[in-house]
Chain A
Amino acid sequence: MALSNVLETPAAGFNFENAARNAALEGLFDGGQTPKPLKTGTTIAGVVFKDGVVLGADTRATSSEVVADKMCAKIHYISPNIYCCGAGTAADTEKTTDLLSSNLTIYSLNSGRNPRVVMAVNILQDMLYRYHGQIGASLILGGVDCTGNHLYTVGPYGSVNKVPYLAMGSGDLAALAILEDGFKHDLELEKAKELVRAAIHAGIMSDLGSGNNIDICVITKQGVDYIRPYQESEYKDDRKMKYKYRPGTTAVLTEKVVPLKLEVVQETVQKMDTA
């Protein structure tokens, strides 16, 4: 039929079990607040241009006020012609995009067809709607297929919107300002890349949760150009990174060797039937 879902067969109708469970859980915690998941303050953006789609993202992953990862990859591979930027809870965006990618690969192998961007969007929408907003993933899906160049946004509650340009994440307002000013239909490749770079840069400058480098992913009919990093942060620190110590740095005071005696307790041989 339509789709082979290896891990989860979509059940008929709506499934609100998890929403009911979460509501019940909230009552059990002190003060009535469930622990808040960690989010990647992020700026992600996407633009449809003449020959395809350009996606961009910053590379900072934060854990409260500490930068946990300075070179985190927020543009995820979905299929050879579809990539997805993720904002929101880091674990949720990773797993959701991984699941989507696996399912689409299986579908491709079964049907012999390249997946379409609408298909990826529909699967994501079904998955996120099923969990009623509990999966904190705001995604920008961009890709090129036989029907053209497409850019979609999928919200954490499962709402979908098809747009020519878009920004999401905590730095989205700053990035959107740049996009609103500079976007035109059918931009050339270099202009489109520059527009997305400027949008992410605005997000990095104006939002504390976004920063470090800028990744750009250009998807066209001919192929994908994943430029990581497209622009490096001007605030890079120059660490030596020599953390190897030669043997003998730490003095050995005493040494004791205890051989472990193993004895065979039971041996069973089962012949394989290779006839």
Chain B
Amino acid sequence: MEKHHTDSKVKGVSTGTTILAAIFDGGVVIGSDSRASIGGEYVSSKTINKVIQVHDRIFCCMAGSLADAQAVTKTAKFHLSFHSVQMESPPLVISAASILKELCYKNKDELQAGFITAGWDRKKGPQVYVVSLGGMLISQPVTIGGSGSTYIYGYVDAKYKPNMTREECQQFATNALALAMGRDNVSGGVVHLVVITEKGVEHVVVPGDKLPRFHDE
């Protein structure tokens, strides 16, 4: 079998990863695996947190070089917080996504990081945005990213329905991540899910032994 090179061109620790976000009726679910690798061969961390809170109701998932992604999210967190203080109101999800996009686009030659931003704001309710490696920003109801996402495009396209209930969406996200982690060698560990609604934020961690199993496991 030909060797599967994922993020081996990323220098240092890479989050070869699976990340996703999906809108349901009344909120949004954002989730990721928890593996960080070096060179696609060595798992440097089994429990890395890739879902970062950038504001009260806005989270983002990172993919790519861990150092770059952490640096960008730290900068974005600061800018978003400052913007929110100046505007005297909670920031919009599109603002958070735009800040990440500006950083990724303006520094595209040096950075290797992509993001999924998801959250809830008063103006447009639950939203999901994707900021790709080069700095493209688009809004989607459901989106997947990272090296493991290639294995679950079919599943997501077939199984996602708009206006699911919270439980249905959580199960959909867990299944999708479990399937990707089962096939992608640089995704693994536990499933981190964050459910964001108007009322609040809930972290759900699904450990490896509680993940759903499929027919050949």
Query: CB distance A14 to B11 under 8 Å?
Result: no
Contacts of B71 in A (CB 8 A): 14, 125, 129, 158
- 7 new A-B pairs (CB below 8 Å) besides A16-B107, A125-B70, A157-B65? A156-B12, A157-B11, A157-B66, A157-B68, A158-B67, A159-B70, A161-B45
Of all chain A residues, which has the CB nearest B69? A159
Given contacts A16-B110, A19-B110, contact A155 B12 (CB under 8 A): yes
Of all chain B residues, which has the CB nearest A158? B67
A-B contact count (CB 8 A): 48
Of all chain B residues, which has the CB nearest A160? B70
Contacts of B110 in A (CB 8 A): 14, 16, 19, 132
Q: How many residues of A contact B (CB 8 A)?
A: 18
State the B residues within 8 Å of A (CB): 11-13, 36, 45, 47-48, 65-68, 70-71, 74-75, 107, 110
Looking at B47, B71, B74, B107, which has the most chain A CB atoms within 10 Å of its CB?
B71
Given contacts A14-B110, A161-B45, contact A155 B13 (CB under 8 A): yes
With A and B bound together, what is the CA distance between A133 and B66 in angstroms?
A: 12
Query: CB distance A159 to B12 under 8 Å?
Result: yes
Q: Whole-angstrom distance from the CB of B205 to the nearest CB of chain A?
A: 15
Quick check: is A38 within 8 A (CB to CB) of the other chain? no
- What are 13 residue pairs bridging A and B, where the CB atoms are less than 8 Å apart in the complex? A13-B75, A14-B71, A16-B110, A125-B70, A125-B74, A128-B67, A133-B11, A157-B11, A157-B67, A159-B36, A159-B70, A160-B70, A163-B45
Given contacts A14-B110, A133-B12, contact A155 B67 (CB under 8 A): yes
Of all chain A residues, which has the CB nearest B47? A163
Query: CB distance A161 to B67 under 8 Å?
Result: no
With A and B bound together, what is the CA distance between A128 and B71 in angstroms?
A: 11
Contacts of B66 in A (CB 8 A): 155, 157, 159
Per-residue CB contact flags for chain A residues 126-167 toward chain B (1 = under 8 Å, else 0) read 001100110000000000000000000001111111010000
Contacts of B70 in A (CB 8 A): 125, 129, 158-160
Contacts of B11 in A (CB 8 A): 133, 157
Contacts of A161 in B (CB 8 A): 36, 45, 48
Segment 1-43 of A: residues with Cβ below 8 Å from B? 13-14, 16, 19
Q: Whole-angstrom distance from the CB of A245 to the nearest CB of chain B?
A: 52
